[in-house]
Amino acid sequence: MLRRHLAGLALLGAPAFLRSAQAQAPASRVVFELKDGPVTIELLRDVAPQHVERITTLVTRGFYDGTPFHRVIEGFMAQGGDPTGTGTGGARDLPDLPAEFTDKYRFLRGVCGMARSQNPNSANSQFFIMFAPAPSLDRQYTIWGRVVAGMDAVDKIKRGDPGSNGLVRGPDRLLRARLATA
């Protein structure tokens, strides 16, 4: 407690531009507001710094607010992050990202990854949240986060039709996304 108080006093003596930079720690979590409640996702900066930066940039812009979960497959994952809802949209003003594969984490229930085309370096804005483990995705897709609270809300996302490759008619939406520091 005393250490934090002294650090705060030292910060007060710093120039204004330095105080604001030091006071704003990078977000460590993202909260997705879904129809059935909030979902808190821990950001894994040490694993995928460029992808975490992209997610936080898009959240800050409000890009994800109101976007559909357009591809939801029972026992696999829920995919969102495409404002068109077709699976072909993205943040067109931002370049695609190079892959950031890891051996540190696996695609287990609650892990968040970036969707992409056949090109491993084509992730842009679309993401997915795992309902169940999928070892076939390990070291093939970038992991950028993991759900630490609210997986019950993820489990309630409307599933797609089995014959439609998981595409959802009248999909559930990510109502709002926001950054959180703790």
The pLDDT value given to residue 6: 38
**pLDDT tens sequence across 114-132:** 999 999 999 999 999 999 9
Q: How many domains does the chain have?
A: 1
For 39: left if phi > 0, alpha if psi spans -120 to 50, otherwise beta; the answer is: beta
Tokens 């559930």 found at: 172
Helical residues (DSSP H) of the chain, grouped into ranges: 2-12, 16-23, 49-61, 151-155
pLDDT digits (tens, 9 = 90+) for 133-179: 999 999 999 999 999 999 999 999 999 877 777 788 778 999 999 99
Q: Is residue 12 part of a domain?
A: no
Which runs of E-coded beta strand occur in the chain? Answer: 29-34, 37-43, 67-68, 71-73, 77-80, 111-114, 127-130, 143-149, 173-174, 176-180
Residue 118 is part of a domain; what is its CATH number?
2.40.100.10
Tell me which of 180 and 1 has the higher pLDDT: 180
Q: Which pLDDT score is estimated for 164?
A: 76
Answer left, alpha or beta for residue 126, where phi above 0 means left and psi between -120 and 50 means alpha.
Answer: beta
DSSP 2: H
pTM: 0.85
- A 10 A CB-CB count for 57 gives 13
- 29 found inside a domain: yes
For residue range 56-73, list pLDDT tens digits in order: 999 999 999 999 999 999
Sign (positive/negative) of CA torsion 79, 83, 87, 93?
Answer: negative
Residue 146, φ and ψ in degrees, nearest 5: -150, 140
Residues 156, 176: Cα–Cα separation, whole Å: 17
Q: Which domain holds residue 122?
A: 25-180
Is 170 among the domain residues? yes
3 inside domain: no
